[in-house]
Amino acid sequence: MIQIILASHGDFCLGIKQTVEMIAGKADDLETMSFRPGQDPDEYRTQFDKILKDDETNPTLVLVDLKGGTPFNTAMYLKQNHNLSVITGVNVPMLLSIITTRNDQSKIEDLIKIALDKTNWGIENTTLGGKHHAKLSLN
């Protein structure tokens, strides 16, 4: 199965993992790499490198919070020596779609396509109705 690593500033990646597993159940081969305030970037890179599986037939998908930060830069640095694909802007709908479709036969290209599909970004402007909003009843 393709390994997925969530990498972020602080505990953002832990929260996304916890939320997705609350909805979809425990996910295999899903790791987190939190970059902590004051942490040495070289130490972070060493820890990140240790959790990578080196498997040419099953590359690792790294989902990071934002482009240009230490988690992203670390993943891009490690990509030089590991079989990684790096996607920025990870969010719950994206990860949920990836986790619920990933299986032992999944190809990295398919998971990347899912991550980049706008319907999995979870971004929309939602309203209750036109000019006069109806009251929402939860009964």
d(CA 59, CA 82): 8
Structure confidence by residue, pLDDT tens digits, 94-134? 999 999 999 999 999 999 999 999 988 888 888 776 665 55
Domain ranges in the chain are 4-106
DSSP letter at 116 equals: H
pTM, to two decimals:
0.88
Q: Please say if the pLDDT value at position 91 is more than 80.
A: yes
Q: What pLDDT is stored for residue 121 in this prediction? A: 81
Q: Let me know: does 115 contact 91? Beta carbons within 8 Å.
A: no
Q: Let me know: does 60 contact 82? Beta carbons within 8 Å.
A: yes
Q: What pLDDT is stored for residue 132 in this prediction? A: 58
Q: Which CATH number fits domain 4-106: 3.40.50.510, 3.60.10.10, 3.20.20.70, 3.30.420.40?
A: 3.40.50.510
Structure confidence by residue, pLDDT tens digits, 2-27? 999 999 999 999 999 999 999 999 99
d(CA 15, CA 132): 36
Mean pLDDT value across residues 86-94:
97
Q: Let me know: does 95 contact 121? Beta carbons within 8 Å.
A: no
Read out DSSP for 66-128?
A: STTSHHHHHHHHHTTTS-EEEEE---HHHHHHHHHH--TT--HHHHHHHHH-GGGS------S
Pick 73 or 58 by higher pLDDT.
73
Structure tokens at 67: 């482009």
